Chain A
Amino acid sequence: DTGVSQNPRHKITKRGQNVTFRCDPISEHNRLYWYRQTLGQGPEFLTYFQNEAQLEKSRLLSDRFSAERPKGSFSTLEIQRTEQGDSAMYLCASSLEGLNNEQFFGPGTRLTVL
Chain B
Amino acid sequence: AQSVAQPEDQVNVAEGNPLTVKCTYSVSGNPYLFWYVQYPNRGLQFLLKYITGDNLVKGSYGFEAEFNKSQTSFHLKKPSALVSDSALYFCAVRDFLGNNRLAFGKGNQVVVIP
- Which residues of A pack against B, CB within 8 Å? 4, 31, 33, 35, 40-45, 48, 55-56, 58, 91, 93, 99-100, 102-108
In the complex, per-residue mask of B85-110: 1 if CB is within 8 Å of any chain A CB, else 0: 00000101010101111111111000
Q: Is the CB of A104 within 8 A of B96?
A: no
CB B41 to nearest CB in A, in angstroms, measures: 7
Chain B nearest CB: distance from A110 CB in Å? 9
Tell yes or no: B49 within 8 A of A by CB.
yes
Chain B interface (Cβ < 8 Å from any Cβ of A): 4, 32, 34, 36, 41-46, 49, 51, 90, 92, 94, 96, 98-107
Q: In the complex where A42-B106, A102-B34 touch, is A31 in contact with B43 (Cβ < 8 A)?
A: no
What residues of chain B lie closer than 8 Å to A103, measured between beta carbons? 46, 102
CA distance A37 to B43 in the complex (A): 11
Who on chain B is nearest to A92 by CB?
B43
Q: Which residues of B contact A41 (CB under 8 A)?
A: 106-107
Residue of B nearest to A107 (CB): B43
Q: Quick check: A43 and B104 within 8 Å, CB to CB?
A: yes
Contact A99 B107 (CB under 8 A): no
CB of B49 within 8 A of CB of A43, answer no
